[in-house]
Amino acid sequence: MNYTTEFRDPELAALQLEAIRRTVANHSGVMTLMEVCGTHTMAIYQHGIRALLPKNIRLISGPGCPVCVTPIDYVDHAVALARRPNTIITTFGDMLRVPGSSSSLMREQARGATIKIVYSPLDAVAIAAKNRAQDVVFLGVGFETTTPTVAGAILTAARQGLKNFFVLGSHKTMPAPMAALIGDPQLQVDGYLCPAHVSAIIGSDAYLPLVNQYQVAAVITGFEPLDVLQGVLMLARQIVSGKMQVENQYRRVVHPEGNPKARDILYQVFEPCAARWRGIGDIPDSGLRMRPEYAAFNAVVQLPVEVEAPREHPGCQCGEILKGKISPQDCPLFRTVCTPEEPVGACMVSSEGTCAAEYKYGTD
């Protein structure tokens, strides 16, 4: 199936837009829709979708980029581990350039630290197997989409009897932050475009408590332009009719029950906990921590280091951008002090960050 043509047909897009306009034509006020997936953020910017929508639909980006929502003290902890002798840091590429309080992993690499980019947590396990005289730390950052792979890596390291493989975890979960943002009077979110990758694991039924408790519209949608437009149309119809529910536009990937096998692996190694989100703060049951029986692989427990006190850049507005309260253009550092070459905040670093999308594709 060729998704690049079937889901990017301009004539079908025009029909979707006309259906959206008709749906909201008599709607009083502005309806606020939020997407909470970094890949949706990039798709919306790339295809200029926001500019195509009627004026009474406000489409904003929320906390969907895993690197962006990771608090600065986690970066400082990774930097401290990188400075530790006889240590190899393994990480996905996005984390390398995220600024900490006084340094970044890229700067530490330039100073001599051993930092390797990997494409899978199992790559980090393989590095540990080949370097048993050194401690190998994998930086575990992400949502339910990637956490099962981290759990699988820990189980693999256990089976291989590795004593030198560790994970510094900062795993987050949905939909708890979506519930936290509903209560913000400055946002007044009417509907969510739910994260598609995450939904493939947790399933569409995972959003039922959110919708039932807060009476907010919710649609799981794919990443192509027609996917997003159809998701917006389905949300608009729910809001206009006043009948809020969970709808699944992305049925070709997401199922009501999600992926039980992936969740079994995940919860074998991790358990729910409160987590701190950049810009939002502590949210109960929005994180995952390693179970005590796997403490031998927990970098926090096994590799104690002194971590500097966290200090955010005073002018960085990443926190407000992640909450959807301002756009990147509202930040005084955007395009002046903060650029992809010299990022001040994580939102400018990650390939899924709102500031990176705005910088790459321009005002939409």
* pLDDT tens digits, 5-42: 888 899 999 999 999 999 999 999 999 999 999 899 99
Residue 263 amino acid letter = R
| CB of 34 closer than 8 Å to CB of 10 | no
Reported as a pLDDT band with limits 50, 70 and 90, residue 2 is low
**64, 98, 241, 286, 362 from 175: Cα distances, Å:** 11, 25, 24, 8, 29
> Nearest 10 degrees: CA dihedral of 73, 331, 350, 91?
-20
Reported as a pLDDT band with limits 50, 70 and 90, residue 1 is low
Q: Which two tokens stand for residue 338?
A: 């903060």
Above 50 in pLDDT, residue 364? no
Separation between Cα atoms, residue 22 and residue 95, nearest integer Å: 43
pLDDT of residue 225: 95
| CB of 182 closer than 8 Å to CB of 211 | no
Q: Which of 152, 355, 357 is nearest to 259 (CA)?
A: 152
| CB of 81 closer than 8 Å to CB of 321 | no
* pTM metric for this prediction: 0.93
Phi, psi of 81 (to 5 degrees): -65, -35
What 3-state DSSP class applies to 128?
helix
Strand 135-142 to 114-117 pairing? unpaired
Q: What value does the mean pLDDT take over residues 170-199? A: 93
pLDDT 10s digits, 255-311: 999 999 999 999 999 999 999 999 889 999 999 999 999 999 999 999 999 999 999
Q: What value does the mean pLDDT take over residues 174-200? A: 93
Reported as a pLDDT band with limits 50, 70 and 90, residue 3 is low
Mean of pLDDT over the chain:
94
pLDDT of residue 350: 82
